[in-house]
């Protein structure tokens, strides 16, 4: 874990991946239904916007449910998957 310029604790990628859904504090997770990505931003800007709001792309809430996702051992990167998710979310709105 490390701190940003604002003094906010930020989890590393490995810490995000390893969050235990059985012990995570539900109220501290972002609700993905409240995430709004600015479609006027560049692709990179949209990803940054999404990550700033969701905080942990591996573990978040959908209403009362805790959602944890993972990826197979493949050449597809987290960035690739996030771009897919953001573009699908943006086109659905």
- Give the pLDDT confidence score for residue 11 in this predicted structure: 74
Task: For residue 72, give its domain range.
Answer: 2-92
- Give the pLDDT confidence score for residue 85 in this predicted structure: 86
- Give the pLDDT confidence score for residue 76 in this predicted structure: 83
- The total of structural domains in the chain comes to 1
- Give the pLDDT confidence score for residue 10 in this predicted structure: 66
Walking along the chain (93 residues) 10 residues at a time, the average pLDDT comes out as 49 85 93 95 92 93 92 80 86 73
Question: Which string of DSSP letters, residue by residue, matches 36-83?
Answer: ---TTS-HHHHHHHHHHHHS-TTEEEETTEEEE----SSS--HHHHHH
- Give the pLDDT confidence score for residue 3 in this predicted structure: 46
- Give the pLDDT confidence score for residue 72 in this predicted structure: 74
pTM: 0.65
- Give the pLDDT confidence score for residue 15 in this predicted structure: 86
């Amino acid at each position: 874990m490390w701190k940003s310029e604002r003094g906010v604790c930020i989890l590393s990628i490995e810490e995000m991946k390893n969050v235990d859904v059985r012990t995570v504090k539900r109220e501290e997770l972002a609700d993905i239904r409240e995430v709004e990505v600015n479609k006027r931003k560049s692709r990179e800007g949209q990803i940054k916007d999404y990550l700033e709001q969701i905080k942990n792309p591996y573990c978040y809430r959908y209403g009362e449910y805790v959602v944890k996702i993972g990826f197979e051992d493949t050449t597809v990167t987290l960035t690739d998957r996030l771009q897919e998710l953001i573009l699908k979310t943006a086109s659905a709105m």
